[in-house]
Amino acid sequence: MKTFPSKKKTIINDPIYGFISISDELIFRLIEHPYFQRLRRITQLGLTHLVYPGAKHTRFQHAIGAMHLMGQAIEVLRSKGHAITDEEAKAVTIAILLHDIGHGPYSHTLENSIVEGISHEDISAIFMDKLNAEFDGELTLALKVFRDKYKKRFLHQLVSSQLDMDRLDYLRRDSFFTGVSEGVTSTERIIKMLNVVNDELAVDYKGIYSIEKFIIARRLMYWQVYLHKTAVASEYLLLNILKRAKEIAGNDGELFCSPVLKPFLHNHYTKKDFLKDPGLFENFAQLDDYDIMASVKAWANHPDKILSTLSNMLVNRKLYKIEIQNSTFSKEKINKQKTKITRKRKLKGKEAGYFVFTGTLINSAYNPQSDRINILFKDGSVKDVAEAADLLNISMLSKAVKKYFLCYPNGL
Amino acid sequence: MKTFPSKKKTIINDPIYGFISISDELIFRLIEHPYFQRLRRITQLGLTHLVYPGAKHTRFQHAIGAMHLMGQAIEVLRSKGHAITDEEAKAVTIAILLHDIGHGPYSHTLENSIVEGISHEDISAIFMDKLNAEFDGELTLALKVFRDKYKKRFLHQLVSSQLDMDRLDYLRRDSFFTGVSEGVTSTERIIKMLNVVNDELAVDYKGIYSIEKFIIARRLMYWQVYLHKTAVASEYLLLNILKRAKEIAGNDGELFCSPVLKPFLHNHYTKKDFLKDPGLFENFAQLDDYDIMASVKAWANHPDKILSTLSNMLVNRKLYKIEIQNSTFSKEKINKQKTKITRKRKLKGKEAGYFVFTGTLINSAYNPQSDRINILFKDGSVKDVAEAADLLNISMLSKAVKKYFLCYPNGL
Amino acid sequence: MKTFPSKKKTIINDPIYGFISISDELIFRLIEHPYFQRLRRITQLGLTHLVYPGAKHTRFQHAIGAMHLMGQAIEVLRSKGHAITDEEAKAVTIAILLHDIGHGPYSHTLENSIVEGISHEDISAIFMDKLNAEFDGELTLALKVFRDKYKKRFLHQLVSSQLDMDRLDYLRRDSFFTGVSEGVTSTERIIKMLNVVNDELAVDYKGIYSIEKFIIARRLMYWQVYLHKTAVASEYLLLNILKRAKEIAGNDGELFCSPVLKPFLHNHYTKKDFLKDPGLFENFAQLDDYDIMASVKAWANHPDKILSTLSNMLVNRKLYKIEIQNSTFSKEKINKQKTKITRKRKLKGKEAGYFVFTGTLINSAYNPQSDRINILFKDGSVKDVAEAADLLNISMLSKAVKKYFLCYPNGL
Amino acid sequence: MKTFPSKKKTIINDPIYGFISISDELIFRLIEHPYFQRLRRITQLGLTHLVYPGAKHTRFQHAIGAMHLMGQAIEVLRSKGHAITDEEAKAVTIAILLHDIGHGPYSHTLENSIVEGISHEDISAIFMDKLNAEFDGELTLALKVFRDKYKKRFLHQLVSSQLDMDRLDYLRRDSFFTGVSEGVTSTERIIKMLNVVNDELAVDYKGIYSIEKFIIARRLMYWQVYLHKTAVASEYLLLNILKRAKEIAGNDGELFCSPVLKPFLHNHYTKKDFLKDPGLFENFAQLDDYDIMASVKAWANHPDKILSTLSNMLVNRKLYKIEIQNSTFSKEKINKQKTKITRKRKLKGKEAGYFVFTGTLINSAYNPQSDRINILFKDGSVKDVAEAADLLNISMLSKAVKKYFLCYPNGL
């Protein structure tokens, strides 16, 4: 019997799952690392708390929660006779713990704004390599699993697939903190139904209703939370604020900001810069929501009228008005709004674009081309859920739904 | 029948109570006011999320929740035949909504640090007067209720007493977000048991068990959350950081900080300054958690070793080690730690006090002298709960428990 | 302000909604009536507790819960400006309270077995007429609403339609007690979204996702609970037991049974008998689950081998084995099982049919022909949800799904 | 790695804990045994559902739930380095599963009524010996643990002590189904804090608040549920019904009842009869709530006026009126009620005692003499919780509280 040295054993109290134990020393040290602690200061859902006030939860909580579910999944698969060594178990646990470590401030909101042409997945990869070097190669197997280079593919699929622990945690967590009960899923039941066939993850047939519910819950969460129109309007507002700030910084304008944010306002960094400049990376590794919001708050008093107006709108929650429809907006309608704001605020050239703009929202809940969910029948055969569910035509759900939005100032 | 103009009616989705409707226009406008929106950026429990990661909830959520409970309490009291006019109902609702509006960054943590000799209640009073002026006296009755100047005292007691809507909400909310189920209380049941005798709030006899549970839950929350030793250590760390920053600022040292925080670092303001300088107040009205944390993060790279060390400790969660006991700590023990850190870090004079210090924690759950909870018996008589509860000697609980703590650097 | 005489006011503690107040005297007296108290002894889900052990909840709880939701619905509709008089409110509350009062033992299971050619709705109607007579016509308006004879049709629809309080309660309640979280619905949100257009019930557009979720949850509950194969096998087992008992009684065989069950075993009553024989009705009004199960337990020792075998199977939960498939079962397969059991148990003629039989399961979640759910758009227009939901092809769901089952003894 | 043969693995869906897996074949066969299946027909809380309608849960659910918690406790203790062999784990699991198997109809209500001078623990012991014989001695170690004859005493304490899995489950379960949130306890936290010192169960110091909460919650559940005055009145009503029925049976009166109940009405069996007459035991092993209630329902039409009146009172919930006070009731008060009913109903001799009677209720939450809860301090020392809790004087709680009640007919 293995006994854990109590000095390193930690219990985290999670409002959703209760007590989460951390008993492995390497994992404990990863969580204590400043790179990981930074996730305490990055909200999971960006500005969504402007719509659902409870949604202040962080990437830190999510990563710990996903790690907890991974422990359950390992236990279930082992109990069904699938060999997972202790080393593999640790690797897949580390992989899920670090899967989102590259997220910048406000999670998805500022991707491609703070830095351009580089995704949070790319940045996560850099973080993991740094940590692997720092921990003398102890993360090598975790990285192999994360990058899908390991023979037991199901381990990678536990980290990244239609039914990975990432999704299972975030749907439940986002549902819990927003209060949107439509997103509640039977996390526990789905995990109990996991299985493995030919080294690929599968779901026992009797879990098919839970899978249906899961796919639908995810779709409902998209429309009610992730693509909620007011949340979308807030995100675009923040994007426009940063765009304007960069414009001012580019013209050598005076601009208060936190020290670690500064280089990102005054330069346009790309993936290449990131890979070759370790100082730049370390700078990024200190950025979080506080740098952004403290700066935006200061900009509400900036002499540039556009910057101060937009910043004020965000700080005091006077968001854009946003309309959503199934077809594109007419040029007339857009231009009418642009003319109005241009006159009212005496704007020049393209400046109206900071206040009036359009865009699209796309959601496809399940894409049978790229994302399979294997259903394992009692006779040992395997089918994709889109074929197996005779009850609900899941392939219908895969139809991408596209909507158009128009933002303009509310009562300005 | 009254119909509400739909344009102003808002529903807020709260993860605890579900949908909270706001149908009164004045209340809607108060919530939209920048003074109130600021509460979205002030955590209810300061740095407690360093212990309970879920505890990122804000003063905004709490104020809205307490307002919701007030609506239920009004309904219950009316259904028992106690007259509450629509005007009184609105006043008491506004009073609870604004009861905490004077809180500064990190709620209680920085009271008497950002500004000195002025409580958050004093500042709340200033906020309310400003708002009353701005809203042409529409808050006059609310202020009367808040200040206990209104004949129907029970209205004030719904805002501030042992069983006010403030406590009923915060115990439940803090329990929900921390995951500490010991604090769960039967909010709904207590509200259903409220009554009024001689214009004072009372509780129907059959609610006595719920009251016992409530008093005990509150006590358990004190030790497990509000006075949790790691949370206490975090708060003192932040206090010491600000103290050091003020010291540096007082010596004209260079110090990054957000514009609205600046005056508070460079000056020692008192209540008098607040009352006579409207600019100072407006400055305070823009301060929130983001100003503090963005500055602390920058200070982690400050040339002053004490400031940078303390700031780093907070940012990367290398908190003080804290010991708790029932008696005072010996001078030897304290001095031993001070000597150690002084040598190690080559400190001068009293600087060791930034790293090694003691203090006390006090909790009394129920004080029958100052706080009565009236129990209303079936025969119409009224007794304090401390006398009425023959089952549990509640007066025992009122004994103030005092503990002593010693903080020192962990592994430095 | 109305004050309620406390002697008649009752609070029921419901594990789902918390405290449910009953403040109207007529409603209080209806609940106290033996006809209604009988519902305490009739399980809501028949024998489903043999699959989900928690599902022991009763018709009594469900009726009280549906009444509670009705109170909320009335409040919401009034707050949106739709006039509902106090008299109408009481009528619709009584209508929902009594909507299921005609259910016999084990709810749906024994419909058309205890008595034939008469539905529980027919029997409910008789109960209501009796009660109306006993209460001097005070239920007249309630009956009008129940029978859809009242001008404000939306009142009837709150009692009986796609979104009535009956369904809203039972889905949530059955989900709670079975532990099948797939059936959890946003009851509160749906009720908040109710509205009225041209005296018909409608749902505000922003509630459309909740409606989708509701329709899907209902479908999932059908397959996971209401048509769960083991529950189906249990119901058919009980039906066969009663059929055999009636056969024996018809042949003047000795048969223990409770006094109120006796006439129903020895006679074949129809709707006509019910209407003309008040004694027969009063007998039925005393029947509940206890009469059935106490008799079945005694029959486990009956000399008739078929009756005792079947009864033993139910009492000790040695249920039929049941297979389910999308097409009919071949005659060969059925006959093979029948031959086997006939030989083993030396059965005569058609007696094998007590042990081996087939049947069908049908579920259509939403039938846009008969059941409309009106969605009310912001511009005032109304569409059926099957047209309004561009996201999910709800009409797909309306396709009736038909499955076939085969039951035979397990290991006999 | 152990793989479970899927054919015997079963998952039970519990509304409180979710999925409960049963993977051991012996345990599976015990659950399938008719002795254990009988618990499906015995309510955990007797007639308490007449007060809390949700409380229809059964001994079956409770036994399965306690078994589930045992699995968690074993895992926790093993993770802390305490050796528990697979054989011991199975034994302690069986012991908790069967701990209540001797309960008769309506659980505690009819103890000493159906049979006299024999407790449900005695009967459980007989059940276990029978099962051990039937299963060829495979339960021998389980019995040793159950009877506290095994060296590792903590195993017995997991089955029977202040913190056994029995209490942990029933407090939570009864709280869940009644809706009395005062009884909610942190089951999970307490189990995580379990430890072993010198083969005795202990609780880690940091769990002390949870223990306090647990002791208090238990006390509150006593007064709000287990000793709820209306529940007490219901139980005494049923006891009086059976007493009268036995009296009639003893006088050779005609009396409908189910076959397995019959011998218990016509004879006065004692422990000795039970031990020597296997047929009597088998008879008892078929008795459940259905035998009782079906008989009571029939007795509502019995020619004996006392029996029919009492039976009617129970069936239609016209319970006794019950008064509770801290001192005994005066003879005058009691006699006044007796005289009233004697006249009104023309009773003879002592018959008034069926309608008017007094009794006592006693509750002591924690008895430090007989029940210790060991608290394990960080320095390895152990103290009883009554000494360790400096915050709350737990020994206060141990003071037995005694109350007196008087029952008499309500409005007869």
Specify the pLDDT at position B65.
97
Inform me whether the C-beta atom of residue C361 falls under 8 Å from chain A C-beta atoms.
no
Does residue A390 surpass a pLDDT of 80?
A: no
In which band, very low, low, confident or very high, does the pLDDT at C364 lie, cut at 50, 70 and 90? low
Contacts of D86 (CB under 8 A, 6+ apart): none
Per residue in B372-391, pLDDT (tens digit) is 889 998 888 998 887 776 55
Residue to test with chain A: of D7, D23, D80, D209, most A Cβ within 10 A:
D80
Inform me whether the C-beta atom of residue B401 falls under 8 Å from chain D C-beta atoms.
yes
Does residue D217 surpass a pLDDT of 70?
A: yes
Dist CA C399 CA A396 (whole Å): 14
Inform me whether the C-beta atom of residue A401 falls under 8 Å from chain C C-beta atoms.
yes
Specify the pLDDT at position D109.
79
Specify the pLDDT at position A392.
53
What letter would DSSP give residue C223? I
Mean pLDDT of C360-377: 77
Specify the pLDDT at position C8.
47
Inform me whether the C-beta atom of residue A349 falls under 8 Å from chain D C-beta atoms.
no
Q: Which of residues 381-400 of A touch C (CB under 8 A)?
A: 390-393, 396-397
- Select the highest-mean-pLDDT range: B146-160, B392-406, C9-23, C117-131: B146-160
Task: Give me the interface pTM, i.e. the ipTM.
Answer: 0.93
Dist CA B90 CA B67 (whole Å): 10
In which band, very low, low, confident or very high, does the pLDDT at A326 lie, cut at 50, 70 and 90? confident
In which band, very low, low, confident or very high, does the pLDDT at D4 lie, cut at 50, 70 and 90? very low
Inform me whether the C-beta atom of residue A3 falls under 8 Å from chain D C-beta atoms.
yes
Residues in chain D: 412
DSSP string, A6-28: GGG-EEEEETTTEEEEE--HHHH
- The candidate with the shortest Cα–Cα distance to C58, out of C114, C15, C117, is C15
Specify the pLDDT at position C64.
98
Average pLDDT of the residues of chain A: 90
Specify the pLDDT at position C70.
98
Q: Which of residues 33-72 of A touch B (CB under 8 A)?
A: 34, 37, 40-41, 49-50, 52-54, 56-58, 60-61, 64
Residue A175 is which amino acid? S
Which of A18, A81, A188 has the CB atom closest to D188's CB atom? A18
In which band, very low, low, confident or very high, does the pLDDT at C399 lie, cut at 50, 70 and 90? low
Specify the pLDDT at position D370.
67
Inform me whether the C-beta atom of residue A262 falls under 8 Å from chain B C-beta atoms.
no
Tell if the CB–CB gap between D177 and C15 is shorter than 8 Å: yes
Pair type for strands A18-22 and A10-14: antiparallel
Between C120 and D5, the more confident residue is C120
Q: A107-111, A152-156, C131-135, D328-332: lowest mean pLDDT where?
A: A107-111
Which of D1, D21, D83 has the CB atom closest to A81's CB atom? D1
Specify the pLDDT at position D398.
62
DSSP string, B290-333: HHHHHHHHHHTT-SSHHHHHHHHHHHTT-PPEEEEESSPPPHHH
Which of A50, A176, A317 has the CB atom closest to B15's CB atom? A176
What letter would DSSP give residue A43? B
Specify the pLDDT at position B119.
83
In which band, very low, low, confident or very high, does the pLDDT at D8 lie, cut at 50, 70 and 90? very low
Tell if the CB–CB gap between B393 and D390 is shorter than 8 Å: no
Does residue D223 surpass a pLDDT of 90?
A: no
B48: part of which helix (H) or strand (E)? Answer: none
In which band, very low, low, confident or very high, does the pLDDT at D394 lie, cut at 50, 70 and 90? low
Per residue in D134-185, pLDDT (tens digit) is 999 999 999 999 999 999 999 999 999 989 999 999 999 999 999 998 777 7
Per residue in D11-62, pLDDT (tens digit) is 899 999 988 989 799 999 999 999 999 999 999 999 999 999 999 999 999 9
What is the separation of C-alpha D219 from the centre of its chain, rounded to a whole number of angstroms? 16
Does residue A148 surpass a pLDDT of 80?
A: yes
Inform me whether the C-beta atom of residue C186 falls under 8 Å from chain D C-beta atoms.
no
Inform me whether the C-beta atom of residue D20 falls under 8 Å from chain C C-beta atoms.
no
- The candidate with the shortest Cα–Cα distance to C307, out of C383, C385, C250, is C250
Does residue B280 surpass a pLDDT of 50?
A: yes
Tell if the CB–CB gap between A1 and D78 is shorter than 8 Å: yes
Mean pLDDT of A168-173: 96
Specify the pLDDT at position A232.
95
Strand order in the sheet with C401-408: C321-325, C401-408, C357-363
Between C412 and A259, the more confident residue is A259
Does residue A393 surpass a pLDDT of 60?
A: no
Strand order in the sheet with A200-204: A194-197, A200-204, A374-376, A382-384
D227: part of which helix (H) or strand (E)? Answer: none
The answer to whether the CB of D320 falls within 8 A of the CB of D409 is: yes
Tell if the CB–CB gap between D393 and B391 is shorter than 8 Å: no
Give CA angle at A399 (A397, A401), nearest 5°.
100
The answer to whether the CB of C375 falls within 8 A of the CB of C289 is: no
In which band, very low, low, confident or very high, does the pLDDT at D2 lie, cut at 50, 70 and 90? very low
Q: Is D137 left (phi over 0), alpha (psi -120 to 50) or beta?
A: left
Give CA angle at A123 (A121, A128), nearest 5°.
95
Which of A179, A298, A315 has the CB atom closest to B18's CB atom? A179
Domains and CATH numbers, chain B: 6-228+365-397 (1.10.3210.10)
Per residue in B194-225, pLDDT (tens digit) is 999 999 999 998 888 888 888 888 888 988 89
Specify the pLDDT at position B310.
97
Give CA angle at B170 (D187, D183), nearest 5°.
30
Tell if the CB–CB gap between D391 and B189 is shorter than 8 Å: no
Tell if the CB–CB gap between C189 and A209 is shorter than 8 Å: no
Strand order in the sheet with A357-363: A321-325, A401-408, A357-363
Q: Give chain C positions within 8 Å (CB) of A186.
A: 181-182
Between C49 and B109, the more confident residue is C49
Per residue in B109-132, pLDDT (tens digit) is 787 788 887 888 888 999 999 999
In which band, very low, low, confident or very high, does the pLDDT at C104 lie, cut at 50, 70 and 90? very high
Percent of chain B with pLDDT over 70: 93
Q: Contact partners of A by the rule of 3+ C-beta pairs under 8 A? A: B, C, D
Specify the pLDDT at position B198.
93
Does residue C296 surpass a pLDDT of 80?
A: yes
Mean pLDDT of B120-145: 94
Residue C353 is which amino acid? G
Specify the pLDDT at position C219.
82
The answer to whether the CB of C232 falls within 8 A of the CB of C50 is: no
Inform me whether the C-beta atom of residue B253 falls under 8 Å from chain A C-beta atoms.
no
Mean pLDDT of C124-134: 95
Tell if the CB–CB gap between B79 and C192 is shorter than 8 Å: no
Which of C181, C219, C391 has the CB atom closest to A184's CB atom? C181
Inform me whether the C-beta atom of residue D169 falls under 8 Å from chain C C-beta atoms.
no
Shortest Cα distance from C178 to chain D (angstroms)?
6
In which band, very low, low, confident or very high, does the pLDDT at A4 lie, cut at 50, 70 and 90? very low
Q: Give chain A positions within 8 Å (CB) of D19.
A: 188-189, 192
Between A251 and B116, the more confident residue is A251
Contacts of C8 (CB under 8 A, 6+ apart): C23, C25, C28
Does residue A87 surpass a pLDDT of 90?
A: yes
Mean pLDDT of A352-358: 96
pTM recorded for the entire structure:
0.86
Tell if the CB–CB gap between C80 and B3 is shorter than 8 Å: yes
Q: Contact partners of C by the rule of 3+ C-beta pairs under 8 A? A: A, B, D
- The candidate with the shortest Cα–Cα distance to D121, out of D136, D133, D104, D145, is D104
Q: D56-70, D100-114, D288-302: lowest mean pLDDT where?
A: D100-114
Specify the pLDDT at position C306.
97
Dist CA D231 CA A304 (whole Å): 73
Average pLDDT of the residues of chain C: 90
Average pLDDT of the residues of chain B: 90
